[in-house]
Amino acid sequence: MIHFFKELYLTAFTIGFRFRAPQQLGGGWGPDTDAAKGVCAVTLIEAAILMGIMDRIEIYLEINMFSHVSRWTIYIAVLALYLPNRYVLITRGHGIRFERTFKNLTNSRKVLLLTTCLLMILTVMAFSIYSSIAYRRWIGVTH
């Protein structure tokens, strides 16, 4: 099971890595930018999960501890998510190696990984949005 979650993590990187500009705009941005896009995709998923969890914590504990966080604190938190992902996926090369071997996986494995990854992304988005709506109601924001 751990191996599957690792492959799911690497698949999210691969999706971000392979997300290209339209052909009219030149097609691709280059390997460095493609790798950074992959890391950003993984970081955004993790950030959405954490934001949803933080909203839930405030609601369940009935305290207001994260709502007055400064913009710089958020930047530092995102950087704290981005840098370890960059180290594992690019510097250590795990994401790059998986992206190169992704096309050699069996079609059923590729479909399973891509479908599960996209379902995970949709679930994370729904959880984050639902938590945000519940949090806004809890603090009294009605619009």
For the stretch 27-80, pLDDT in tens is: 566 778 889 999 999 999 999 998 888 888 888 888 777 767 788 888 899 999
Torsional class of 142: left (φ above 0), alpha (ψ -120 to 50), beta (otherwise): alpha
Per-residue pLDDT at 54: 85
**pTM of the full structure:** 0.83
Tens of pLDDT, residues 112-133: 999 999 999 999 999 988 888 8
Residue 94 burial (CB < 10 Å; 0-12/13-18/19+)?
middle
Per-residue pLDDT at 23: 53
